[in-house]
């Protein structure tokens, strides 16, 4: 299902957080939202998964305005993986993952065989089958993050929204997660801080700065050293991954400090645009 944010403006407590943002996630694509802390990634995602109503503009999912759908209809289309989810600490892992099936059932309907199959499959795909009888309270941060992924997978939605899902994950778990997302038939909209993960696994990146889209398009044309330096104030260069042969981004020292004006970056040395790996 295609997900489109059209001219979306979001205000929180009268403060404009998102300004006229347009984003297009074609059906089956992986779209990475990147940008500095506070640039509005989570806020835009909240509008997409129907938790914060935009003050202006429209979020379209498969041609329907999400805010015109019921909460249940929306959760049949979109599953969400958040960083700081309301933790059902006393629930077992299996019980939490089973919550992903709630939109599929009528009130008080029992868990069906199809539900059990979906739960088992989601536990396996997220690598948490062996944890299923543990309570969430006893899990590590990374294990818990994978449980929330399993819950979203159990929901079997055509759209998946993830807010910084790699934060607690080790290298293998990060790689497995991104590979899994790429293989899903779903449309994936994911906020990421790791620009190399965005560059490697996304079809499109949308760069947010101060609540506006600074750039959007395929990662290889968008994630240039110039854009990264202007957006983050950190020296950047492009190199080649020695294992995959794909593009990789290298980062150097800060060109300015938080709060300094962007124009300060112009006083920094020009970025290296060669494709050799640059020693850090």
Ligand X SMILES: Nc1ncnc2c1ncn2[C@@H]1O[C@H](COP(=O)(O)OP(=O)(O)OP(=O)(O)O)[C@@H](O)[C@H]1O
Note the residues at the interface with ligand X (CB under 6 A).
12-13, 15, 17, 35, 37-43
Angstrom CA distances, 79 to 43, 92, 199, stand at: 16, 20, 23
User: By the 8 A CB rule, do 208 and 44 touch?
Assistant: yes
> What is the DSSP secondary structure assignment for residue 58, as one 8-state letter?
E
Tell the smallest beta-carbon distance from residue 36 to ligand X (Å): 7
Question: How is residue 199 written in tokens?
Answer: 């560059």
**Closest to ligand X by CB, 13 or 90:** 13
Tell the smallest beta-carbon distance from residue 248 to ligand X (Å): 22
Which residue(s) pair with 212 in the sheet? 209
Residue 119: closest CA among 143, 147, 145, 98: 98
**Closest to ligand X by CB, 131 or 197:** 197
Tell the smallest beta-carbon distance from residue 12 to ligand X (Å): 4
Tell the smallest beta-carbon distance from residue 78 to ligand X (Å): 18
**Closest to ligand X by CB, 43 or 200:** 43
Tell the smallest beta-carbon distance from residue 17 to ligand X (Å): 4
**Closest to ligand X by CB, 13 or 183:** 13
**Closest to ligand X by CB, 7 or 109:** 7
Count helices and strands (H / E) in the chain: 9, 12
How many residues are given for the chain? 280
User: ∠251-253-257 over CA atoms, to 5°?
Assistant: 120
β-bridge pairing 187-191 and 30-34: parallel
């Amino acid at each position: 299902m295609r997900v489109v944010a059209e001219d979306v403006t979001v205000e929180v407590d009268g403060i404009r957080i998102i300004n006229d943002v347009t984003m297009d996630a074609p059906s089956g694509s992986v779209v990475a939202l990147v940008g500095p802390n506070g640039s509005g990634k989570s806020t835009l995602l909240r509008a997409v998964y129907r938790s914060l109503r935009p003050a202006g503009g429209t979020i379209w999912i498969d041609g329907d305005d999400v805010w015109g759908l019921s909460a249940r209809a929306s959760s049949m289309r979109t599953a969400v993986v958040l960083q700081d989810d309301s933790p059902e600490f006393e629930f077992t892992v299996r019980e939490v993952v089973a919550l992903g099936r709630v939109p599929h059932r009528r009130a008080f309907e029992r868990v069906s065989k199809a539900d059990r199959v979906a739960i088992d499959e989601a536990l396996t795909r997220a690598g948490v089958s062996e944890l299923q009888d543990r309570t969430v309270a006893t899990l590590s941060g990374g294990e818990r993050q994978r449980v929330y992924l399993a819950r979203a997978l159990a929901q079997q939605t055509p759209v998946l929204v993830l807010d910084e899902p790699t934060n607690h994950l080790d290298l293998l778990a990060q790689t497995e997660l991104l590979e899994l997302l790429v293989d899903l038939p779903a449309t994936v909209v994911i906020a990421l801080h790791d620009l190399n993960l965005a560059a490697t696994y996304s079809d499109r990146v949308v760069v947010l700065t101060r609540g506006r889209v600074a750039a959007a398009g395929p990662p290889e044309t968008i994630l240039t050293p110039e854009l990264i330096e202007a957006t983050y104030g950190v020296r950047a260069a492009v190199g080649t991954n020695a294992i995959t042969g794909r593009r990789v981004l290298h980062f150097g020292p800060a060109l300015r400090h938080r709060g300094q004006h962007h124009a300060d970056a112009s006083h920094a040395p020009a970025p290296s645009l060669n494709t050799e790996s640059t020693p850090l």
